Amino acid sequence: MQFDPALAAQQAFSQADAHRELGADWDEAVEAEATFSSTAGSTARTAYEQLLALATRYPQAHYYHAFCIFITWQQVTEETIAHHFQTGVMLCEAYLLSPESKDPQDIADVTELYGSFRDGLGLNEEDQIQVEFERDEPKGGD
């Protein structure tokens, strides 16, 4: 990975604050982030889920959404299960497909993580198999 997702998460969270992306819910996000960052296990997972739930209330909060993607990678490293990889893929796709303008560095970092989440699910391997199949498949003819 060409960047540190934990540092990127801190920067994105700071930008979400500077742009007041969560309005009245900011204090809830700060509390949940503090719990997520300072604990592990089920307590951290509950805080993580709370942070993701806030993201659904603010679909235009692109810095906050980048933050959620970065902490999802942290969650993957803490608890390597398919659910977290799937969540990461879903969050990345929503972020990358949204029409809002975003920070170019966040776009690059999210794009890199998108590939990593897909790799974790074996999806990029399937894509490569499909490319091989299409190259070897007979085209037209008798």
Tokens representing residue 9 in the block: 């998460």
User: Quick check: 86 and 120 in contact, CB under 8 A?
Assistant: no
Q: What is the pLDDT of residue 126?
A: 56
Tokens representing residue 42 in the block: 């089920």
**Could you report the per-residue pLDDT of 1-37, keeping only the tens digit for each?**
889 999 999 999 999 999 999 999 999 999 999 999 9
**Could you report the per-residue pLDDT of 83-118, keeping only the tens digit for each?**
999 999 999 999 999 887 888 999 999 999 999 999
Shortest CA distance to 61 belongs to which of 105, 109, 29, 38? 29
Q: What is the pLDDT of residue 96?
A: 95
**Could you report the per-residue pLDDT of 27-73, keeping only the tens digit for each?**
999 999 999 999 999 999 999 999 999 999 999 999 999 999 999 99
* pLDDT at residue 131 greater than cutoff 60: no
Shortest CA distance to 18 belongs to which of 81, 61, 77, 70? 61
